[in-house]
Structure 1
Amino acid sequence: MDIEERGKLLFTGAVFAALAAWPAFSGAYGLDLVGKIMVYAIFALSLELLVGTTGLVCFGQAAFFGIGAYAVPLLAPGVEPASIAWLLPAAVIAAGLYALVVGALSLRTQGAYFIMVTLAFAQMAYYVVHDTPLGGGTDGIYLSAKPALGALIDLDRPLVMYGFTLGCLVAVFVLLALVGRSRFGRALAGIKANEQRMRATGFSTYPYKLAAFTLSGGIAGLAGFLFAVKDGFVNPELMGWHLSGAVLIMIILGGLGHLRGALIGAFAFALLQEFFKSEAIFGNFAKHWHLGLGLTIIASVALLPRGLVGLPGQWRARLVGRNASPNVIGAEVQDA
Structure 2
Amino acid sequence: MRELSVAGAETLSGKQRIDRSLLIGICILAVLALTPFVTEIAGGNYVLNLVLKAMILAIAAVSLDLLIGHGGLVSFGHAAFLGLGSYVTGIALTEGITNALPVLGLVLLICGLFALITGAISLRTSGVYFIMITLAFGQMLFFSLSSLSSYGGDDGLTLWDSPVLFGQNVFLAGSGLFYSTLIILALTWFFVGRLSVSRFGRVLRAGKENPVRVGTMGFDIFHYRLIAYVIAGLLAGVAGFLTACHAEFISPSTAAWQNSGNLIIMVVLGGMGTRNGALLGAIFVVLIEESLSLITHEWKLIFGPLLVFIVLFAKGGLVSLITRPGGRA
User: Which among 17, 34, 51 is matched to residue 4 of structure 1?
Assistant: 17
| 1:96 Cα offset (Å) | 1.7
Partner residue of 1:197 out of 213, 216, 222? 213
* Matched AA of 1:300: I
Which residue among 280, 301, 304 is the counterpart of 2:311?
Answer: 301
Partner of 2:289: 273
Q: Which runs of 4+ in 1 moved over 6 A?
A: 314-317
The equivalent residue for 2:34 is 21
Distance in 2, matches of 1:253 and 1:55, equals: 16
Q: In structure 2, do the counterparts of structure 1 residues 200 and 238 end up closer, same or farther at CA, with 3 Å as the change threshold?
A: same
1:142 counterpart residue number: 158
Q: Which residues of 2 match residues 35-54 of structure 1 at below 5 A?
A: 35-54=52-71
Indicate the structure whose relative CO is greater, using CA pairs within 8 Å and at least 6 residues apart.
2
Once superposed, what is the RMSD of the aligned Cα atoms?
1.8
Bigger mean CA deviation after superposition, 14-23 or 147-156: 147-156
Counterpart in the other structure of 1:325: none
User: 2:9 aligns to what?
Assistant: none
Q: Match of 1:310? A: 320
Q: Distance in 1 between matches of 2:15 and 2:69?
A: 23
Matched, 1:114 2:127: no
Distance in 1 (CA, whole Å) between partners of 2:204 and 2:108 is 22
The 3 A distance-change label for structure 1 pair 270 and 171 is: same
SS of the residue corresponding to residue 288 of structure 2 reads helix
Note closer, same or farther for the CA distance 1:207–1:24 as it changes in structure 2 (3 Å cut).
Answer: same
Q: Which has the higher helix share?
A: 1
Q: TM-score, normalised by structure 2?
A: 0.90
Contact 1:128/1:134 (8 A) holds in 2? no
Secondary structure of the structure 1 residue equivalent to 2:94: coil
Identity level (%) = 36
**Hey, what does 1:77 align to over in structure 2?**
94
1:131 deviates by: 3.1
Distance 2:326 2:74 in 1: 31
How far does residue 92 in structure 1 lie from its aligned partner after superposition?
2.3
Distance in 1 (CA, whole Å) between partners of 2:151 and 2:63 is 24
| AA partner of residue 310 (structure 1) | S
Normalised by the length of structure 1, the TM-score is: 0.88
CA distance in 2, matches of 1:157, 1:270: 19
- Offset from partner CA, 1:114-154 (integer Å, 9 cap, x none): 10000000000011111342552111011120111133343
Do the aligned residues in 2 keep the contact of 1:38 with 1:169 (CA within 8 Å)? yes
Count matched residues: 310
Change (3 A) 1:316 1:89: closer
2:324 and 2:314 map into 1 onto residues whose CA distance is: 8
Q: Does 1:250 align with 2:266?
A: yes
For 1:31-180, list aligned pairs within 5 A.
31-78=48-95, 82-133=98-149, 135-180=151-196
Larger Rg: 1
* Residue type at the aligned position of 1:167: I
Contact residue 73 and residue 144 of structure 1 kept, 8 A: no
| Deviation, structure 1 residue 310 | 1.1
The residue type equivalent to 2:24 in the other structure is: F
Task: Show structure 2 runs of 5+ residues with no match.
Answer: 1-13
